[in-house]
């Protein structure tokens, strides 16, 4: 998947989870930029992505994600394996 494809999939998933159609994620987006994206819904978001793509993020990696771009990069790494 390309960065754009992954970003589109992430945006769609977060819109579905938070019932907010206005969400558009970019590489620089931080969790605090998105209303209601609290730490708990961040974990369910990670779980939803893992289920959809069939990948598993390392617990330490999830803790280190500062931007959506970090998640995209880690996703590409895991998909490349």
Partner 1 sequence: MTTMHWLPSPADFRQSLKSALEADQAEERLENLAAVAQLRLGFVETIQVDNALKAIAKDTASGAAAGFPRVRLAVLASSTIDHLLPAIRVAGLRRRLLVEVYASSFGQYRQELKDPASALYGFKPEVILFSLVSRETVAGVLLTASAEEAQGAVAATIDELRGLWREARENLGATVIQQTFLDVTETLFGSYDQMVPGAPARVVADLNAQLAVAVAQEGVLLLDVARSSTRDGIDAWFDVARWLQSKIEIAPQAAPIYGDLVARLIAARRGQSKKCLVLDLDDTLWGGVIGDVGLEGIVLGEGSAAGEAHLALQRYARSLKARGIILAVCSKNEAAIAEAAFREHPEMLLKRADITAFLVNWTDKAENLRAIAEQLNIGLDSLVFVDDNPAERARVRASLPMVAVPELPDDPAHYVRCIADAGYFEAVSFTAEDRQRVEQYAANVERENLRSSFQSMDDFLRGLDMSLVFGPVTAIELARTTQLINKTNQFNTTTRRYTTEELSALIAAPENITLQFRLIDRFGDNGIVSILILCRDRKDPGLFEVVSWVMSCRVFGRQLENEAMNVAVESARARGARALHADFIATARNAVIKDLFSKLGFSRLPGPTPESTTRWAVDLADYPIQPTFIRRGAKA
For partner 1, the binding residues (CB under 8 A) are: 13, 16-17, 19, 39-40, 43-44, 46-48, 51-52, 56-57, 59, 62
Nearest to partner 1 of 28, 44 (CB atom): 44
Nearest to partner 1 of 5, 16 (CB atom): 16
- Smallest gap, in angstroms, from Cβ of residue 41 to partner 1? 9
DSSP assignment, residue 24?
-
**DSSP alpha helices (H): ranges in the chain?**
3-18, 39-53, 59-64, 68-80
Contact (CB, 8 A) for 27 and 7: yes
């Amino acid at each position: 998947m390309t960065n754009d494809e992954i970003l589109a999939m992430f945006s769609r998933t977060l819109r579905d989870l938070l019932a907010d159609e206005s969400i558009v994620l970019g590489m620089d987006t931080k969790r605090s930029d998105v209303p209601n994206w609290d730490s708990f819904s961040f974990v369910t978001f990670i779980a939803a992505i893992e289920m959809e793509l069939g990948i598993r993020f390392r617990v330490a990696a999830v803790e280190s994600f500062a931007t959506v771009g970090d998640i995209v990069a880690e996703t590409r790494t895991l998909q490349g394996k």
